[in-house]
Amino acid sequence: MNRQVAGVRGVAALLPDAAAAWTRVEERARAWLWAYGFQEIRLPVLERTELYARAVGEVTDIVEKEMYTFLDRNGDSLSLRPEGTAGCVRAGIEAGLFHHQTQRLWYLGPMFRHERPQKGRYRQFHQLGVEAYGMAGPDIEAELVALGERLLGAFGVKARLLINSLGTPECRSRYRAALVAYLEGHAAALDEDSRRRMARNPLRVLDSKNPEMAEVLASAPRIADFWNEDARAHFDGFSERLRALGVRYEVAPRLVRGLDYYSHTVFEWVAEDLGAQATVCAGGRYDGLVGELGGAPTPAAGFALGLERLMALARDLPAGRALDVFVMTPAALNARALTLAESLRDAGLGVEVHLGGASPKSQMKRAQQSGARCLARIEETGVVLRGPGDSESHVAWSDAAERITTSLGARNETS
Ligand code: HAM
């Protein structure tokens, strides 16, 4: 036998059972997105590398270490998208979507980050992202959180909501100075990465995943002490609305998020039973980004839900529609089986025909695995039907389609 080609580490196929579950989850999620007035946007997987350097930030884990970047045949540096917000803003600016109008957009698809794979962390993973443009007040953030709660609740996911504010750019520059002063005072306790970041992007030191840094970071100044009136009013407005909506939250003073584009509100849902990779959904406000990427200044906020993590946590997955009929047949009668299947499909039923020429025993095994409500065995003399229920009957060939359709009740998902 020839040597097999291995798949890429951290990049998995979704096998049929999983894919079917994902599709049903996506359908339920779509219904909630519709209920909140969001419209789908389908974004490309490839963008210019510069987009992420400018949007996510040069000095972030994503851009420094995790992107799949390559030169294409024209010599342009391109990257597989590590997240969806930057591409959504880029596409929206190019298409003029943000001119004097609000937008509520969502997307779903694969993202790519060269992280160390472990449970809940993959190199190709999927996000359901939601982005709202043109709304400056905290109302939209509260509405986004309500939507996030619905999406998690729809699948029985239990997660704590953490919220914080990064304030305005003015608050951040004062905070930055205080943080640098603190970090300089503790330079000996910092690892090499953090010392480098301290000079270029000190807030990112707070994202350090090095456990040895936890202690020194725990006593670092808190951004809330640097909020100005604007920042405080925005945060108070946001948390008041959450309370009015009955959403439970915890204020997390050290939550800064790992991407540079946020201002004001940031939030994350952290699940209890997901181990180290516990953040299932995360986002915040990013008012500066549209302007930063060459558009007119536009307020914006959004979040992204990690679908692998959602699937790992989901307790309540919607049931799929089982196949209606499984047709077993000796190879010599395949043509009859195909004809019967076509008339059943005309009536809106889902039908699988066993065309593998297997023994009756293995056909029956496959038929039972299929979960079909009715099994039909083609014989020279007619058709043997079993189900719904355990009843078995022998019907004439010419009556078979009608008998099956009547006993199952016609359904028409295909037309
Ligand atoms: P993020 O926090 O980088 O934010 O990712 C959002 C979610 O994607 C995470 O909470 C997690 O569930 C999932 N995720 C991230 N990396 C991985 C991975 N390697 N394997 C599995 N799941 C992963 C963003 O991407 C922002 N664009 C969110 C946003 C939208 N902010 C505003 N709008």
3-state secondary structure of 306: strand
Atom of ligand 1 nearest to the CA of 283: 31
Whether residue 334 is found in the same domain as residue 309: no
Q: With bands split at pLDDT 50, 70 and 90, how would you rate the model's confidence at 410?
A: low
307 CA from centroid of ligand 1 (Å): 10
Output the six-digit token pair for 298. 């536009």
Whether residue 259 is found in the same domain as residue 399: no
Looking at the DSSP bridge assignments, the partners of residue 80 are 46
Q: What's the length of the chain?
A: 415
Q: Is the pLDDT score of 100 beyond 70?
A: yes
Q: Where a domain ends, among 278, 313, 348? A: 313
57 CA from centroid of ligand 1 (Å): 15
Question: Which strands sit side by side in the sheet containing 77-80, from one edge to the other?
Answer: 46-48, 77-80, 69-71
Q: Residue 358 belongs to what domain range?
A: 325-408
Asked if residue 283 has its Cβ within 6 Å of ligand 1, the reply is: yes
- For the residues 256-284, what does the mean pLDDT come to? 91
CA atoms within 13 A on the CB side of 118: 7
**Alpha carbons 301 and 267: distance in angstroms, whole number:** 11
Question: Quick one: what percent of the chain has pLDDT higher than 70?
Answer: 98
CATH code for the domain of 360: 3.40.50.800
Model confidence pLDDT, tens digit, residues 224-263: 999 999 999 999 999 999 999 999 999 999 899 989 999 9
Whether residue 291 is found in the same domain as residue 375: no
Asked if residue 84 has its Cβ within 6 Å of ligand 1, the reply is: yes
Whether residue 349 is found in the same domain as residue 389: yes
Whether residue 118 is found in the same domain as residue 236: yes
- Give the angle subtended at the CA of 267 by the CAs of 78 and 177, to the nearest 5°: 80
Q: In the prediction, which pLDDT does 116 show?
A: 95
Q: Are 314 and 158 spatial neighbours (Cβ–Cβ below 8 Å)? A: no
Whether residue 148 is found in the same domain as residue 297: yes
Asked if residue 127 has its Cβ within 6 Å of ligand 1, the reply is: yes
Specify if 299 maps to a domain: yes
Specify if 404 maps to a domain: yes
281 CA from centroid of ligand 1 (Å): 7
- For the residues 3-28, what does the mean pLDDT come to? 96
Whether residue 35 is found in the same domain as residue 139: yes
Query: For atom 6 of ligand 1, which residue has the closest CA?
Result: 304
- For the residues 132-141, what does the mean pLDDT come to? 98
- For the residues 49-75, what does the mean pLDDT come to? 96
Model confidence pLDDT, tens digit, residues 356-399: 888 999 999 999 999 999 999 999 999 999 988 778 899 999 99
Atom of ligand 1 nearest to the CA of 257: 2
From the list 359, 374, 363, 357, the residue with the least C-alpha distance to 328 is 363
Q: Is 407 exposed, middle or buried (0-12, 13-18, 19+ CB in 10 A)?
A: middle
Whether residue 288 is found in the same domain as residue 362: no
Asked if residue 87 has its Cβ within 6 Å of ligand 1, the reply is: no
Q: How many domains does the chain have?
A: 2
Q: Are 57 and 207 spatial neighbours (Cβ–Cβ below 8 Å)? A: no
Whether residue 50 is found in the same domain as residue 78: yes
How many other C-beta atoms can be found within 10 angstroms of the C-beta atom of residue 412?
9
Whether residue 87 is found in the same domain as residue 152: yes
- Give the angle subtended at the CA of 135 by the CAs of 130 and 139, to the nearest 5°: 85
Residue position matching structure tokens 């905290």 = 138
CATH code for the domain of 253: 3.30.930.10
Q: In the prediction, which pLDDT does 208 show?
A: 84
317 CA from centroid of ligand 1 (Å): 22
Residue position matching structure tokens 């078995």 = 392
